[in-house]
């Protein structure tokens, strides 16, 4: 049962399309004092959800702040990442789903201040609350997913392998990647372009010094089944004569300050302006710009820096420099040193800046801070609306960094700037279910890690998880160790794992579509299936993928095996390379399994079959009719 409660006059986030009638009665289960909600939890309650966030599948014991943030350090103490996904489920004797539909800042203290209490603080005064009651967590998820509408489905080729790196600048770089994969007989479907392809970081431009003939390069790569996927950033360079800037200025399509002047921020190109995606005309205008690149043969994009990330605002930058000048001839001691550093560090993504610009919406002028969490969502929706028209439904690849529930209908998301840390393999795994609950099914992390230097074993182990997830992309930061699989000695091992991805695609793709169509989980915690089994409920490092297979990847360096929990009898298929090397019935219970660096273990549930395709060089090369079945 879904119940809706409305407070004030909420801005319609369009997270929910068909709203049930709002109730006037008092909110049940919670005590409400102004904008603070509290409810108690039993000692053994689990809290699932909250989408993209650090820490466990069970969110209990930490505070999460729903505020889309450009956060490049995904460590345990962090409270916000790029997405704002305000849906969680209390799973205990009572099963209750809660969705706070509010586009501003919301704080979820899930048993952090008090272990047996949930405290929710909503900063806006206008919002809606949805409560979903049912007898199982999975039924609550299905009801919620039905409420928010069907998730985005990318084209089939988007389930292939993607190679990315901040730094692939030129045509030569692209051809080098193509050669690296093809010569070494590694399958590949996508090469991503980061900001380097643009002319001075200007959206919808291509640097002609780096690409003599971009269109021809794109079409040549496509003949080899490789799609090129460029990045688009939210900020638009301030530059007279640059058509996007000129048109936006002429039509008043950029966000403005309180005096009605364009709000100038700093991003990659330096001084930039922010398209007002809350303004329907501006949004349509920006979305249609993607055609500049689709006309050159592009069929997919990744939208970035759309929290929006701000290095500084022009206004605040001036103040900071004035402040710093005061220290110039003084004795800078401890506190002054802190103050100086803070002044510089707090220039980026400063809350005062988010409070200083406005959107023109159908409901009038709205301060950005009140709808902050919708910015990336609306940018991506604008792209998706246009791409649907230009290329057709299910014909374009699109994923975004920032998101809010509702955006899941338009695109996927990637998990942002993680690091080449072993703990981030596990974080990648843990985020899958909480994102699936909120409708984000096409998702994945930067495999190998974005920041810091990867190692061969880390990449192999990360791939061993990544091959099961919908979005498979190896991406890394400028200046880090090159991490394409062909940079490493263990090429054969990589080849085996990547080939297995393509062999598994019929199962993975079918599971993906089923999870979208049935509002189901793609990657599920064991506790959602084996609901009465306490060991399954507490298991945070294994996933059920689709309804037939369980995975238990290794996420510790130098480990030669791991503990696995089997909630029922299953059959272990040990793959060496892309072939089965061992089959074994495993009893229900706890066990320890050795898994070498070139092995993948798949646990098949009883009475299920796992279809396998033949190896293929690209998704288009897969013969979907020529399948063998493991059972």
Residue 453, burial from CB neighbour count under 10 angstroms (0-12, 13-18, 19+): middle
- Are 515 and 441 within 8 A, CB to CB? yes
384/476 with CB nearer ligand GLC: 476
Q: Measured from the CB of residue 231, what is the shortest distance to ligand GLC in angstroms?
A: 6
132/231 with CB nearer ligand GLC: 231
The span from the CA of 486 to the CA of 176, in Å, is 11
Q: ∠427-449-376 over CA atoms, to 5°?
A: 75
Closest alpha carbon to 273 in 235, 315, 309: 235
- The reply to whether 507 sits near ligand GLC by the rule CB under 6 A is no
14/194 with CB nearer ligand GLC: 194
- Are 403 and 372 within 8 A, CB to CB? no
- The reply to whether 193 sits near ligand GLC by the rule CB under 6 A is no
- Binding string, 213-252, against ligand GLC, x = CB under 6 A? ------------------x---------------------
The site for ligand GLC, by CB under 6 A, has a size of 10
14/52 with CB nearer ligand GLC: 52
Q: Measured from the CB of residue 130, what is the shortest distance to ligand GLC in angstroms?
A: 31
Q: Measured from the CB of residue 185, what is the shortest distance to ligand GLC in angstroms?
A: 28
Q: Measured from the CB of residue 521, what is the shortest distance to ligand GLC in angstroms?
A: 26
272/499 with CB nearer ligand GLC: 272
104/269 with CB nearer ligand GLC: 269
Q: Measured from the CB of residue 494, what is the shortest distance to ligand GLC in angstroms?
A: 22
Q: How many CB atoms lie within 10 A of CB 75?
A: 12
Query: Which parts of 455-474 interact with ligand GLC (CB under 6 A)?
Result: none
Helix (H) or strand (E) run with residue 121 in it: strand 117-122
The span from the CA of 360 to the CA of 284, in Å, is 14
- The reply to whether 417 sits near ligand GLC by the rule CB under 6 A is yes
202/401 with CB nearer ligand GLC: 401
- The reply to whether 202 sits near ligand GLC by the rule CB under 6 A is no
Residue 21, burial from CB neighbour count under 10 angstroms (0-12, 13-18, 19+): exposed
Q: Which of 166, 301, 396, 522 lies at the binding interface for ligand GLC (CB under 6 A)?
A: 166
- The reply to whether 304 sits near ligand GLC by the rule CB under 6 A is yes
- The reply to whether 416 sits near ligand GLC by the rule CB under 6 A is yes
- The reply to whether 194 sits near ligand GLC by the rule CB under 6 A is yes
Q: Which residues contact 491 (CB under 8 A, 6 or more apart)?
A: 184, 186, 485
231/602 with CB nearer ligand GLC: 231
290/507 with CB nearer ligand GLC: 290
Q: Which of 401, 409, 495, 574 lies at the binding interface for ligand GLC (CB under 6 A)?
A: 401
Residue 379, burial from CB neighbour count under 10 angstroms (0-12, 13-18, 19+): buried
Q: Measured from the CB of residue 476, what is the shortest distance to ligand GLC in angstroms?
A: 8
Q: Measured from the CB of residue 166, what is the shortest distance to ligand GLC in angstroms?
A: 4
Residue showing the smallest CB distance to ligand GLC in the complex: 166
Closest alpha carbon to 266 in 307, 304, 313: 313
The span from the CA of 384 to the CA of 289, in Å, is 12
Q: Measured from the CB of residue 195, what is the shortest distance to ligand GLC in angstroms?
A: 4
- The reply to whether 52 sits near ligand GLC by the rule CB under 6 A is no
- The reply to whether 168 sits near ligand GLC by the rule CB under 6 A is no
* In 538-586, beta strands by DSSP E: 543-545, 549-551, 561-566, 570-576, 579-586
Tell me the DSSP string of 51-87: SS-SS-SS-TTEEEEE---------TT----SEE--E
Q: How far apart are the first and last CA of the chain?
A: 38
- The reply to whether 195 sits near ligand GLC by the rule CB under 6 A is yes
Q: Which residues contact 270 (CB under 8 A, 6 or more apart)?
A: 237, 238
The span from the CA of 375 to the CA of 371, in Å, is 7
354/450 with CB nearer ligand GLC: 450
Residue ranges binding ligand GLC (CB under 6 A): 166, 194-195, 231, 304, 401, 416-417, 450, 475
């Amino acid at each position: 049962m879904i119940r809706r409660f409305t407070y004030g006059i909420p801005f319609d986030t369009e997270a929910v399309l068909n709203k049930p009638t709002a109730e006037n009665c008092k909110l049940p289960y919670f005590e409400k004092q102004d904008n603070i909600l509290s409810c108690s939890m039993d000692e053994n309650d689990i809290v699932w959800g909250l989408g993209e966030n650090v820490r466990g599948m069970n969110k209990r014991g930490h505070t999460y702040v729903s505020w889309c943030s450009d956060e490049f350090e995904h460590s345990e103490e962090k409270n916000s990442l790029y997405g704002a996904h305000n849906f969680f489920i209390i799973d205990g004797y009572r099963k209750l789903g809660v969705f706070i539909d509010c586009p501003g800042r919301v704080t979820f203290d899930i048993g952090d201040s008090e272990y047996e209490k949930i405290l929710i603080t909503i900063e806006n005064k206008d919002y809606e609350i949805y409560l979903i009651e049912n007898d199982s967590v999975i039924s609550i998820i299905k009801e919620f997913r039905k409420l928010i509408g069907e998730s985005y489905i990318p084209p089939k080729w988007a389930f292939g392998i993607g190679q990315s790196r901040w730094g692939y600048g030129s045509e030569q770089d692209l051809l080098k990647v193509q050669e690296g994969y093809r010569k070494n007989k590694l399958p590949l479907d996508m090469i991503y372009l980061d900001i380097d392809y643009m002319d001075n970081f200007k959206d919808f431009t291509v640097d002609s010094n780096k690409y003599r003939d971009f269109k021809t390069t794109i079409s040549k790569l496509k003949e080899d089944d490789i799609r090129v996927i460029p990045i688009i950033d939210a900020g638009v360079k301030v530059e007279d004569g640059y058509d996007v800037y000129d048109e936006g200025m002429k039509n008043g399509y950029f966000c403005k300050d309180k005096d009605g002047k364009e709000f100038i921020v700093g991003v990659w190109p330096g001084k930039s302006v922010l398209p007002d995606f809350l303004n329907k005309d501006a949004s349509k205008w920006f979305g249609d710009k993607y055609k500049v690149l689709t006309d050159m043969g592009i069929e997919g994009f990744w939208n970035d820096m759309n929290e929006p990330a701000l290095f500084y605002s022009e206004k605040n930058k001036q103040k900071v420099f004035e402040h710093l000048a005061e220290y110039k001839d003084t004795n800078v001691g401890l506190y002054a040193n802190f103050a100086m550093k803070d002044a510089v560090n707090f220039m980026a993504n400063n809350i005062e800046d988010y409070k200083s610009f406005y959107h023109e919406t159908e409901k009038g002028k709205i301060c950005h801070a009140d709808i902050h969490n919708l910015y990336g969502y609306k940018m991506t929706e604008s792209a998706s609306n246009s791409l649907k028209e230009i290329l057709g439904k299910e014909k374009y690849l699109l994923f975004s960094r920032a998101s809010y529930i509702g955006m899941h209908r338009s695109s996927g998301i990637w998990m942002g700037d993680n690091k080449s840390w072993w703990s981030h393999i596990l974080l990648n795994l843990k985020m899958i279910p909480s994102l699936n609950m909120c409708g984000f099914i096409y998702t994945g992390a930067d495999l190998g890690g974005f920041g810091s230097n990867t190692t061969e074993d880390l990449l192999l182990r990360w791939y061993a998880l990544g091959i099961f997830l919908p979005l498979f992309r190896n991406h890394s930061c400028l200046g880090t160790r090159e991490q394409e699989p062909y940079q490493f000695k263990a090429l054969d091992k990589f080849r085996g794992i990547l080939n297995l991805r393509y062999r598994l695609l019929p199962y993975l793709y079918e599971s993906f579509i089923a999870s979208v169509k049935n509002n189901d989980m793609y990657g599920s915690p064991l506790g959602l299936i084996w609901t009465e089994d306490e060991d399954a409920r507490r298991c945070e490092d294994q996933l059920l993928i689709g309804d037939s297979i369980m995975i238990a990847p290794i996420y510790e360096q130098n480990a030669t095996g791991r503990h696995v929990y089997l909630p029922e009898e299953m059959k272990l298929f040990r793959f060496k390379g892309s072939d089965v090397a061992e089959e074994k019935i495993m009893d229900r219970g706890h066990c320890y399994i050795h898994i070498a660096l070139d092995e993948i273990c798949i646990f098949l549930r009883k009475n299920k079959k796992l279809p396998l395709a033949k190896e293929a060089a690209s998704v288009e090369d897969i013969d979907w009719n020529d399948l063998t079945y493991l059972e």
